[in-house]
Amino acid sequence: MPGFWSDRRVVVTGAGGFLGHAVQRGLIRREAEHVLVPTAADYDLRDRGAVGEMYADLQPELVLHLAARVGGIGANQLRPGELYLDNLLMGTYVIDEARLRETPKVVVVGTICSYPKHTPVPFREESLWQGYPEETNAPYGLAKLAQLVQLQSNRAQYGQNGVYVMPTNLYGPGDKFNAAVSHVIPALIKKCVDAAAERADHIEVWGTGSASREFLYVDDAAEGVLLAAEHYDGAEPVNLGAQQEMPIKDLVELIVELTGFDGEIRWDRTKPDGQPRRSVDPSRAAEAFGFKATTDFRTGLETTISWYRENKVEAEARTH
Ligand SMILES: NC(=O)c1ccc[n+]([C@@H]2O[C@H](COP(=O)([O-])OP(=O)(O)OC[C@H]3O[C@@H](n4cnc5c(N)ncnc54)[C@H](OP(=O)(O)O)[C@@H]3O)[C@@H](O)[C@H]2O)c1
Query: How many whole angstroms from 181 Cα to the centroid of ligand 1?
Result: 11
180: pLDDT confidence band, cut at 50, 70 and 90?
A: confident
2: pLDDT confidence band, cut at 50, 70 and 90?
A: low
Q: What is the pTM of this model?
A: 0.96
Query: How many whole angstroms from 265 Cα to the centroid of ligand 1?
Result: 31
Instruction: Tell me the pLDDT of the chain averaged across its residues.
Output: 95
220 and 295 Cβ atoms separated by less than 8 Å:
yes
Distance of alpha carbon 95 from alpha carbon 263, whole angstroms? 49
pLDDT tens-digit map of 35-76: 999 999 999 999 999 999 999 999 999 999 999 998 877 788
Calculate helix-pair angle for 138-158, 80-100, nearest 10 degrees: 10
Q: Which residues contact 90 (CB under 8 A, 6 or more apart)?
A: 13, 45, 46, 65, 67, 68
Q: Which pLDDT score is estimated for 320? A: 63
Question: Which superfamily, per CATH, for 2-176+214-244+279-295?
Answer: NAD(P)-binding Rossmann-like Domain (3.40.50.720)
pLDDT tens-digit map of 77-93: 889 999 999 999 999 99
Query: How many whole angstroms from 202 Cα to the centroid of ligand 1?
Result: 33
Neighbour count for residue 254 (Cβ, 10 Å): 15
pLDDT tens-digit map of 201-227: 999 999 999 999 999 999 999 999 999
Q: Which pLDDT score is estimated for 73? A: 79
Q: Which residue out of 11, 12, 13, 18 has the highest number of ligand 1 atoms within 8 Å of its CB and is therefore the one to mutate?
A: 18
Atom of ligand 1 nearest to the CA of 176: 19
pLDDT tens-digit map of 109-166: 999 999 999 999 999 999 999 999 999 899 999 999 999 999 999 999 999 999 999 9
Kindly state the average pLDDT of the residues 240-250.
Answer: 94
Q: What are phi and psi of 48, to 5 degrees?
A: -60, -40
pLDDT of 260 > 90? The answer is yes
Residue 42: C-alpha distances to residues 65, 82, 318 (Å): 15, 20, 19
CA-CA-CA-CA torsion sign (113, 301, 231, 97): positive
Omega before residue 237 within 30° of 0, cis: no
Q: What are phi and psi of 264, to 5 degrees?
A: -90, 150
65-74, 90-99, 253-262, 305-314: range with lowest mean pLDDT: 65-74
Marked catalytic residue, from 43, 84, 93, 140: 140
Residue 55 is among the residues annotated as catalytic for this protein? no
Percentage of residues of the chain with pLDDT beyond 70: 99
Atom of ligand 1 nearest to the CA of 167: 6
Q: Which pLDDT score is estimated for 273? A: 87
Q: Which residues contact 291 (CB under 8 A, 6 or more apart)?
A: 223, 224, 227, 228, 240, 282, 285
Kindly state the average pLDDT of the residues 5-26.
Answer: 97
- Smallest Cα–Cα separation from 260: which of 192, 185, 173, 177? 192
pLDDT of 265 > 70? The answer is yes
Q: Which pLDDT score is estimated for 97? A: 98
